[in-house]
Amino acid sequence: MSVKSGPEHRLVVRRCLISGRVQGVYYRASAAQRARAAGITGHARNLPDGRVEVLACGSDHAVGEFIAWLWVGPAAAKVSDVAAEALELALEELPQEFRTA
């Protein structure tokens, strides 16, 4: 992943926990499509408690727009909350693609 300079291109990592009706509604696959189109790496996976966890790594601007989309999700989803926290990962720890699990 190449990152340009400037504040809008600053690399950020966010871990998001999405609550609501987000499992079994194509949420992870839709998130993966959005992330890949935006050049975001990371993952989307179901959690045992019914939430979806999303790790998003990319430019500040792209990740911000992606998190805004996480509040909407695909048509069948009913998102009630998106809790996002900033993480710091070493460059070698950053995922090279966006995956679903």
Per-domain boundaries in the chain: 9-87
Active site (annotated) includes residue 10:
no
Q: pLDDT at position 3, please? A: 43
In whole angstroms, what is the distance from residue 72 CA to residue 76 CA?
10
From the candidates 15, 21, 46, 99, give the one annotated as an active-site residue.
46
Q: pLDDT at position 2, please? A: 44
The CATH number of the domain covering residues in 9-87: 3.30.70.100
For each of the chain's 101 residues, which pLDDT tens digit applies?
A: 444 445 556 899 999 999 999 999 999 999 999 999 999 999 999 999 999 999 999 999 999 999 999 999 999 999 999 999 999 999 899 999 999 99
From the candidates 10, 14, 15, 28, give the one annotated as an active-site residue.
28
Beta strand extents in the chain (DSSP E only): 11-21, 41-46, 52-59, 78-86, 98-100
Active site (annotated) includes residue 14:
no
In whole angstroms, what is the distance from residue 55 CA to residue 48 CA?
17
